Structure 1
Amino acid sequence: MNKRQENLLLFIWAVALIAALGSLYYSEIKGYIPCTMCWYQRIFMYPIVLIGIIALVQKNAKIAVTTAAFSLIGGCIALYHYGIQKLPALQESAPACGGVSCTGQYVNYLGFITIPFLAFVAFAFIFIASLVLLKDTKE
């Protein structure tokens, strides 16, 4: 494994760790109750933290397929969640989420940065890094 691949694995793990810690900060410290869509995003982000650190320790770049799959699915969920928060047409057809509405916005930095937006950005970074890692391992 070359240094670039190792750095990509470190990047994937670091982004996933920051995203996981951020979600825990919002729920456990700020007291924001996660909606159902937030839980689905967590289901796809949290394993990347564990998978990423194991791959980094083992220097296993082949894990990029798994991180790409998890981040693609999680990113699609996050993008849809962001859409139902920001687009009135999607809000009307939004699924009923447990005790907390999925259309609610606990944070709205700069008028567009919500928690699902932050999750989408993290998933996108992980997905792109995974694709670069896949390409790098093929060469």
Structure 2
Amino acid sequence: MNTGKDGASKKSYHLYFAWLISVIATLGSLYFSDIKGFIPCELCWYQRIFMYPLSILLGIATFFNERQIIKYTLPLSIIGGGISLFHYLEQKVPGFAAIKPCTQGVPCTAEYINWFGFITIPFLALTAFILITGILWLGRKA
């Protein structure tokens, strides 16, 4: 636990903000699949595999103010962000989808949403992963 000069506990809000973003991203993905009825593609499932544990781990760490969790959650966020970036490129860059075509279910190039011509579900996930990664990176030594 962090202690200030006076010995009192010093709270870091980095974990709280990272947890809040992960919860919003998790609820957003559940909204798109369970309420809107969008069937997740293969890469969407991989992104969920890396986002959902962040909601739980960062929530527990926030409650106990345990910044040590950052060294375990930061890799989850970075890898999830890499998958999101790959998925977004697969949707938006012509010819990129040929690198790894989805063979079952919904194609990974499908765009259920396309707000303003560039905001898709993988873009939203990528944004969440980037924000979480940046906040956790800043919170390492805070």
- Both structures adopt the same fold (TM-score exceeding 0.5): yes
Name stretches of at least 5 consecutive residues in structure 1 with no aligned partner.
none
Alignment of 1:134 with 2:140, yes or no, is yes
Match for 1:78 among 75, 84, 98? 84
Distance 2:103 2:23 in 1: 26
Of the two, which has the highest radius of gyration?
A: 2
Match for 1:47 among 39, 50, 53? 53
1:57 shift after superposition: 1.2
CA contact (8 A) 1:20 1:45 kept: yes
Distance 1:54 1:106 in 2: 33
CA contact (8 A) 1:36 1:97 kept: no
Distance 1:30 1:133 in 2: 35
1:89 shift after superposition: 2.1
Distance 1:97 1:41 in 2: 18
TM-score for both structures, normalised by structure 1: 0.93
Name stretches of at least 5 consecutive residues in structure 2 with no aligned partner.
3-9
Q: Could you tell me which residue of structure 1 aligns to residue 105 of structure 2? A: 99
Distance 1:132 1:122 in 2: 15
Q: In angstroms, what is the RMSD of aligned CA positions? A: 1.0
The count of residues paired between Structure 1 and Structure 2 equals 134
Q: Could you tell me which residue of structure 1 aligns to residue 127 of structure 2? A: 121
TM-score for both structures, normalised by structure 2: 0.91
State the one-letter code of the partner of 1:107.
Answer: I
Map Cα deviations across residues 92-123 of structure 1 (whole Å, 9 max, x no partner): 22322421000000000000000000000000
Q: Could you tell me which residue of structure 2 aligns to residue 32 of structure 1? A: 38
CA contact (8 A) 1:85 1:102 kept: yes
Distance 1:98 1:34 in 2: 11
